[in-house]
Amino acid sequence: MFLLRWLWSNLSGYRGRYIAAMFLSVICQSMYIITPMMSQRIVDTFIVAENGAEMVRTQPDLLIMMVAAMIGFTFLRTCMTYSANMLYESTSQAVMYRVRKKLYDNINMQDATFYHTHRTGDIMTRMSGDMDMVRHSVAWIIKNVLESLVLFIVSIVYFFSMDPITALCLIALTPVIFIASFIFKRKVRPMYVNLREKLSQMNTLAEENISGNRVVKAFAREDHEIKRFDEKSREYSAANKAAALKWMDFFPTIEITAQALSVVQLVACGIFVVMGRITVGEFTAFAGLIWTLANPMRNIGTIINDFQRFSASANKIIELYYGRTKVADREDAVELTERIKGDIEFKNVSFSYGKTRVLHDINLNIKAGETVAIMGATGSGKTTLVELISRIYDVESGQVTVDGHDVRMMRLKQLRESVGVATQDVLLYSDTVEGNIAFGNVDMSKDEVTKCADIADAGGFIQKLSEGYETIIGERGVGLSGGQKQRIALARAVAVKPSILILDDTTSAVDLETETRIQEHLRNLDFNCTKIIIAQRISSAKDADKIVILKDGTISDIGTHEELIRREGYYKEVYELQR
């Protein structure tokens, strides 16, 4: 029932259309008894009646009218069915669009923890295959349930109105089908949950290998990855077959029972005609409507199959639909009216990934306009530290402040718009070079884009591309070198004119000459900016106002280049190695 309530809530704005479609379905299914009713009267009045021939001669208009009515109602029913189907389909597409938009909006608002626990392939499955099952449920599953139910009920009522004993004979077998269907539902549900998981695993593996195709080729692992995908594909195929074949365990029972209705009808109705209990016309009506009992019974299996698929998919969608990020705006968040200056302070900050402590008791003050370098061994917590500023994560304990405001009390949009980030692992979009640079500020002029590219020392190689700034960059920047991608990412970060600029090992893939030019450009920005540089090279850190050394999640040393090279420790060791 929860799933149906969830669907109903997403039908808001289209409920009238959907109710109209359901109403048309009820009318159409009810009209199926009109043709047998007319057939009954024609047979009893014009065919088997003692004066049947005379009735044909004396009242041909009545016969023509009844035949015309049968044709007319059939045409009307066809038109109404078409209209209902159009309404169902248009409504289902609208619901799918609404739910997919809601999912995408919600996914974009999730924090980093969400992406650590959800595989990309699984998310894509929810956005595609699972969404299609939602559309299918609105357009067909509910429709088929309603139509089968109405057809069955209307037929039963009509049968009882003609002869209750005959009607009881015909419905005597229905309990068998309902019991078999109930057992089938219980057995098939976990199979479709497993099937959904196998699909997700297969899609995840495909997505990972497509994204990482360069690594696969570099290590000549094509055959291995093909084998892995083949295994996942076979698992999915096996799960699909198992679910489909489970229906075959119950199909003979339901099909034989449905077919037996025709036998019961022939025997029972034949005996009752001989006994004079029912007329030949009523026999004809029973024979003409026996399918209205058999078909809904046959549909039960298909409906249960589809609904279990929908249930497995909908539960996965609802998990994302109602998922809430822990990193979100508070109701009492502060709305700043002025540009952020860039004063940053870490007060007794600690943070953990699950049970793994990453940062412990960090105290650090960064003044607006300062350039601060952060260095340390791999895994010391450098990237995590700066991610706390823009609330990619929230602190476990302690406080991070910007301009004296706890970042948890600031509006996320305002905070993140004031922080420009360029990372070592660059993600570029399948767009033009200009579009990638202007990603954070789509209203930038071409001159401003060019200026930002020059700051990142990217203008030279961009001009050499096939179409300059209008060159389409391949997915994730394919076709560009690591250094070129890093410089475009730096230009993108500078383009928003941030109050805080975070460079996470941004120049690791460029040569020292290019790095020197970039550093010179960054020292002469035309806007005030606090710079935080995560670095492995001494050349990237030596000109900073202060250098912070992290070790095992704590600050082990702070000082200028001159101060740190005079003290024993990590910085001096790296300096000696890189001289």
Digit-coded pLDDT (tens) for 400-432:
999 989 999 999 888 888 998 888 777 888 888
Residue 335 falls inside a structural domain: no
Are 395 and 307 in a shared domain? no
The whole-number average pLDDT for the span 74-100 is 90
Instruction: Using alpha carbons, list the distances in angstroms from residue 391 to 366, 374, 384, 407.
Output: 17, 18, 10, 7
Q: Same domain for 377 and 287? A: no
CA gap 71, 497 in Å, rounded:
74
How high is the pLDDT of residue 364? 92
Residues 85 and 30 both lie in one domain: yes
Quote the pLDDT of residue 87.
92
| Model confidence at 475: pLDDT above 70 | no
State the pLDDT at residue 266. Answer: 79
For residue 477, pLDDT beyond 70: no
Q: Which two tokens stand for residue 117?
A: 């626990």
In a 3-state reduction of DSSP, which class is residue 447? helix
Domain with 415, as residue range(s), is: 344-578
Q: Which has more pLDDT, 359 or 259?
A: 359
Q: Is the pLDDT reported for residue 346 higher than 90?
A: yes
pLDDT at residue 548, rounded to an integer: 92
Last-in-domain residue among 290, 306, 321: 321
56-60, 368-372, 533-537: segment of lowest average pLDDT: 56-60
Residues 156, 123 share a domain:
yes
Residues 95/138, Cβ–Cβ less than 8 Å:
yes
- What was the pLDDT predicted at 324? 80
Rounded-to-integer distance, Cα 505 and Cα 225, Å: 31
Asked which of 268, 286, 321 is the last residue of a domain, the reply is 321
| 82-91, 154-163, 371-380: least confident range | 154-163
Does 308 share its domain with 378?
Answer: no
- Mean pLDDT value of segment 152-172: 83
pLDDT of residue 56: 65
Determine if residue 378 is left, alpha or beta; phi over 0 gives left, psi from -120 to 50 gives alpha, anything else beta.
Answer: beta
Last residue of a domain, one of 306, 321, 336: 321
Residue 526 lies in a domain: yes
In this predicted structure, what is the pLDDT of residue 363? 93
Placement of tokens 């029912």 in the chain: 278
Which range (52-56, 284-288, 335-339, 432-436) has the least confidence? 52-56
**Residue 481 sits in the same domain as residue 512:** yes
Decide which of 320 and 101 is more confident.
101
| Whether 222 and 256 share a structural domain | yes
CA 523 from chain centre, in angstroms, equals 44
In a domain, 288, yes or no: yes
SS3 per residue for 518-531: HHHHHHCCCCCCEE
CB of 477 within 8 A of CB of 428?
Answer: yes
Q: Which residue has the higher pLDDT, 481 or 81?
A: 81
Chain mean pLDDT for the chain: 83
Report residue 501's pLDDT band, with 50, 70 and 90 as the boundaries: very high
Name the least confident of 114-118, 237-241, 361-365, 482-486: 114-118
| Same domain (yes/no): 182, 280 | yes
In whole angstroms, what is the distance from residue 256 CA to residue 469 CA?
A: 70
Residues 6 or more apart from 420 whose CB is under 8 A from it?
Answer: 440, 493, 494, 495, 496, 497, 498, 500, 501, 502
Q: Please give the Cα distance from 157 to 490 (Å, whole number).
A: 75
User: What CATH number did the domain enclosing 402 receive?
Assistant: 3.40.50.300
CB 416 within 8 A of CB 527: no
> What average pLDDT does this structure show over 257-268?
78
Evaluate if residue 399 carries a pLDDT over 90. yes
Does position 261 have pLDDT exceeding 80, yes or no? Answer: no
User: Does 521 lie in the same domain as 386?
Assistant: yes
What percent of the chain is predicted at pLDDT more than 90? 14
Q: How confident is the model at residue 201 (pLDDT cuts 50, 70, 90)?
A: confident
* pLDDT above 70 for 386: yes
Considering the domain architecture, whether residues 90 and 217 belong to the same structural domain is answered as yes
**What per-residue confidence (pLDDT) applies to 467?**
85
pLDDT for 402: 92
486 — pLDDT class (breaks 50, 70, 90) = confident
Whether residue 279 is found in the same domain as residue 368: no
The model's confidence at residue 139, banded by pLDDT at 50, 70 and 90, is: confident
SS3 for 119? coil
Same domain, 291 and 418: no
The CATH number of residue 278's host domain is 1.20.1560.10
Confirm whether 327 is domain-assigned: no
Residue 494, CA atoms < 13 Å, CB-side half-sphere = 27
pLDDT higher than threshold 90 for residue 374: yes
In a domain, 164, yes or no: yes
Q: Which two tokens stand for residue 5?
A: 């309530």
Residue 100 lies in a domain: no
Q: Above 70 in pLDDT, residue 53?
A: no
Q: Is 336 a domain residue?
A: no
Residue 332 lies in a domain: no
Residue 226's pLDDT band (cuts 50, 70, 90)? confident
* Residue 347: band (very low, low, confident or very high) from pLDDT cuts 50, 70, 90: very high
Domain count, the chain: 2
